[in-house]
Amino acid sequence: MNVLHTIFWGCFIAVAYNYAGYPLLLFLLSTLSQAKADLHYLLRRTNRRCAPPNGYVPTVAVLVSAYNEAAVIHAKVENTRELDYPNDRLEIWFGLDAPSDSTAEILRRDVDDRMRILDFPTRRGKLAVLGDLARQTAAEILVLTDANTMLDRHCIRKLVRHFCDPQVAVVTGEEIRKPVRESGPSGESIYWRYESAIKILENRLNCAQGANGAALAIRKSLFEPKVSSIVEDFQIPLELRFRGHRVVYDPEAIAVEEITPNLQAQFTRRVRIGAGNYQTLFRNPRYLNPSYGLLTFTFISHRLLRWLTPLCLTVAFLCNIAMVNTMQFAALFAIQCVFYSMALLGYIRQKRAQPVACLSLPLSFCSMNLALLLGFCAYVMGKQGATWNATPRTSLQEHMIHLDADSGMRPAA
């Protein structure tokens, strides 16, 4: 086997392990862990669950950073009013990051006495606004959420119940990404379910690391953002996890966010997140230290290899071209060409507002990895800052999402 063969198969195995092998390994390990817990219970008959102590109702502050959110801010205010948590233990804080639309006017018209607004005249980005909001409250737990995210009315209770364990620093909920147009599951929503399943398995092994900004709860005493971050909802929990604190993923704490039908906006968002991922990696090389054991293993298997996938795909394709003179590699080259052609056709059809159907997965996979590649370039060239243009929103005022934990809506994971 020559060098090209070795490189090609190395890249192929890395991608296959990341997307298929690692989830299967997680499933096996979590099954063994569950069997161990079951055996321990059968032998000792000790309580299997750490129930919150009676009367554990910590003070909570919900923090929302808003830029140009005129289309959704009214629905967000209404959604916070429906949250099932004692009024005397809950605060709602809105930080206006120098919006240029009517967000401020709508918000001031809608808020009640329980809500507070801080107006910042200079735009600085989400993390800076959240940091200033956090300094204004004495609440024990901070719940960070986005203006376009609708929380299940029981979401706060589900999140904070885990903080009775003093080792828990961060709890993140289940984000359901809902297409604006009901046209069947999109490639992005299917991928999101796949990621949710991985998070559940990692959580069972106590190696959950990242979180999402839709529903993120954190102890106020540990919320100390010191440096600007592009993806603070990923960076902060990861940092705390590697400092020895626990990060918990609770799929029962549900938040819903709509996927914009604007292809350019979706892609731009992915590029920004990609840049933030590489920022996290290069700022924290210690996460690759094998002394962290399972944490490093999951970080490399889930995160690092995912971020290297665009490079692996590119190198594998180029190597394949050089080896196309053999039957085996000619077939592999043809398969790759068909796959990428399906993605291109899916893009063309989606651009024309035509049904994508079976093309949605190739399209989502390729657009995600292209965005990662461009995100890497943006980070290296310093073109992605802490601020960005808001993703175009669909107005939720006429069809605000009302979630109820008893309504039968559950995350598909």
> How many angstroms separate the first and last alpha carbons of the chain?
41
CATH homologous superfamily of 60-262 equals Spore Coat Polysaccharide Biosynthesis Protein SpsA; Chain A (3.90.550.10)
- 89 pLDDT more than 50: yes
Q: Which of these ranges, 64-68, 310-314, 391-395, has the smallest mean pLDDT? A: 391-395
Instruction: Share the mean pLDDT of the chain.
Output: 86
Q: Is the pLDDT of residue 11 over 90?
A: yes
Band the pLDDT of 400: cuts 50, 70, 90.
Answer: very low
Greatest mean pLDDT among 190-194, 244-248, 386-390 lies in: 244-248
- What are the residue ranges spanned by the domains of the chain? 1-46+263-282+290-390, 60-262
Q: Is pLDDT of 394 > 80?
A: no
Q: How far apart are CA 155 and CA 202, in angstroms?
A: 21
- The pLDDT value given to residue 21: 97
Of the pLDDT bands very low, low, confident and very high (cuts 50, 70, 90), residue 322 is very high
Neighbouring CB atoms inside 10 A of 257's CB total 21
Query: Region 363-369: what's the mean pLDDT?
Result: 92
In the predicted model, is pLDDT for residue 167 greater than 60?
yes
Which whole number is the average pLDDT over 239-261?
88
User: How much of the chain, in percent, has pLDDT values that exceed 70?
Assistant: 86
User: Cα–Cα distance between 309 and 366 in angstroms, integer?
Assistant: 10
pLDDT of residue 388: 55
Question: Which residue did the predictor score with more confidence, 64 or 260?
Answer: 64
Q: Is the pLDDT of residue 286 over 50?
A: yes
Contact 216, 237 (CB under 8 A): yes
